[in-house]
Amino acid sequence: MPNLTANLAGIKSPNPFWLASAPPTNSGYQIMKAFDAGWGGAVWKTLGIPVVNTSSRYGAVNYKDKRMMGFNNIELISDRPLSDNLREMEEVKKYFPDHAVIASLMVQSKKEWHQIVNDVQNAGADGIELNFGCPHGMCERGMGSAVGQEPEVIKTLVGWVMEVAKVPVIVKLTPNITDITQPALASQMGGADAISLINTIQSLVGVDLDNFVPYPVVDGKSTNGGYCGPAVKPIALNMVKNCAIHPEFKLPISGIGGIETWRDAMEHIMLGASNVQVCTAVMHYGFGIVREMISGFEEYMIEKGFETIDEMVGKALPNVKDWEDLNMKYEVKASINKDKCIGCDLCYIACEDGAHQAIRIPENSTNRIPEIIDENCVGCNLCSLVCPVENCITMVRTDDGSEHETWKDYQVKDKAPNTFDDERAGGRGHYVPKPSDALKK
């Protein structure tokens, strides 16, 4: 069996699956239940001066039959007294000494930072996560993303924490910033041991059109919240990758954002995360989802011949390039498997109206199975993405693989278009119907 144990900056856990700091880690009861279900670690709901929350506080984007495709909250940090949390933390560690219990913290002054870091260390926390990410409420009070958006402030605050920290310190970053590598590097300069990302993305999920108020509604009013769930995974993956490939950034990464299945978790790891954290999926489906994550990892690792998590961390990074380093001579074209096609026309409509007019429905066709017009197809993938039948449209390589030229090469070899009507434009020679042909159909 593959070895699933994980190690983030010295914080060990039986597997790389941690609960992110959020409602599922609000109490010792929940964390014990989660560990019992199989989770390897948990980041306690952020501790600080306890807050008062609003009711209601969540909103969601439902997409077709998928509930909570995106999830939004205006909740603040823990509303429970610190001493209750510390007592429960100690108890959890007694029952689960080998699981990772991380204390997420958010306070203001240096004195408060020192005091709370000492408190959670005394309670047995295996690590500390600094919440510099909350994009609502707490940032109005000068904490959360208000800190995470200021690299200099990050450096100072991490420095304060490091003065008293005896366990590894993780900085949790806000995605509400132009260049995620700046706060990542500031965390490193401040002396942090790891980073985690992403916290939630500032958002408004919709508007009640009868009462003219955005969601979630609090007595007829609303405010912006933080967005998470499956919809944010692509943003999280890109930010994890940006930090992981930065030549000066050397800290381990805990990947967070949109993780619901073992595949989502593995994608974070392939792009540089040493472990992962999950919030929305647990709020939606409960602690039991970790069983699928564990078995999914085990099966995948056996199939691919991986024995440890570390072997897979960043495995996809060598294949991430800048656009200018991609091979311009690589060519694919769409190919339709007529035996699988159900004649729904979706590919035809998409290519005709949204791409390159490279699909036709043959005249007098009785089954409406479309055909690709090879010479018009630019290999954009759109038809294969819209086709509802798995593997019905595949993209087939048509160049012979003998040539490799990048945009960088084009510039060196003077092959790059540099005037408005340049003969070397990529679309020169591509089929484009006359405007008036639009009215003949």
Ligand X SMILES: Cc1cc2nc3c(=O)[nH]c(=O)nc-3n(C[C@H](O)[C@H](O)[C@H](O)COP(=O)(O)O)c2cc1C
Site residues (CB under 6 A) for ligand SF4? 334, 336, 341-347, 350-351, 355-356, 358-359, 370, 372, 377-383, 387, 389, 392-393
CA distance 272 to 320: 11
Q: Which of residues 97-156 bind ligand X (CB under 6 A)?
A: 104, 131, 133
Q: Of residues 20, 61, 100, 359, which one binds ligand X by CB under 6 A?
A: 20
Residue type, 381: N
Tokens of 441: 């159909």
CB atoms within 10 A of CB 415: 12
CB atoms within 10 A of CB 423: 8
Name the minimum Å distance from CB 261 to ligand X: 12
Residue type, 253: I
| Nearer Cβ to ligand X (138/355) | 138
Asked if 256 touches ligand X (CB under 6 A), the answer is yes
Tokens of 242: 């940006």
Name the minimum Å distance from CB 45 to ligand X: 5
Asked if 46 touches ligand X (CB under 6 A), the answer is yes
Residue type, 128: I
Binding site partner of 361, from ligand SF4, ligand X, none, Cβ cut-off 5-8 A by kind: none
134, 243, 279, 392: the catalytic one is 134
Asked if 200 touches ligand X (CB under 6 A), the answer is yes
Q: Of residues 71, 96, 262, 287, which one binds ligand X by CB under 6 A?
A: 71
| Nearer Cβ to ligand SF4 (316/389) | 389
| Nearer Cβ to ligand SF4 (317/342) | 342
| Nearer Cβ to ligand SF4 (6/387) | 387
Binding site partner of 278, from ligand SF4, ligand X, none, Cβ cut-off 5-8 A by kind: ligand X
Asked if 193 touches ligand X (CB under 6 A), the answer is no
| Nearer Cβ to ligand X (200/275) | 200
Binding site partner of 344, from ligand X, ligand SF4, none, Cβ cut-off 5-8 A by kind: ligand SF4
The 79-98 contact track toward ligand X, x by CB under 6 A, reads --------------------
Q: Of residues 4, 6, 34, 77, which one binds ligand X by CB under 6 A?
A: 77
Q: Which stretch binds ligand X (CB under 6 A): 88-96, 176-184, 216-224, 254-262?
A: 254-262
Binding site partner of 392, from ligand X, ligand SF4, none, Cβ cut-off 5-8 A by kind: ligand SF4
| Nearer Cβ to ligand X (15/46) | 46
Burial class (CB in 10 A: 0-12, 13-18, 19+), 305: exposed
Q: Which of residues 208-247 bind ligand X (CB under 6 A)?
A: 228-229, 232
Binding site partner of 169, from ligand SF4, ligand X, none, Cβ cut-off 5-8 A by kind: none
Closest CA to 376 of 342, 407, 333: 333
Give yes or no: 134 in active site: yes
Name the minimum Å distance from CB 328 to ligand SF4: 17
Name the minimum Å distance from CB 77 to ligand X: 5
What are the residue numbers of the active site?
A: 134
Chain residues that interact with ligand X, rule: CB under 6 A: 20-23, 45-46, 71, 73, 75, 77, 104, 131, 133, 172, 199-200, 228-229, 232, 256-259, 278-281
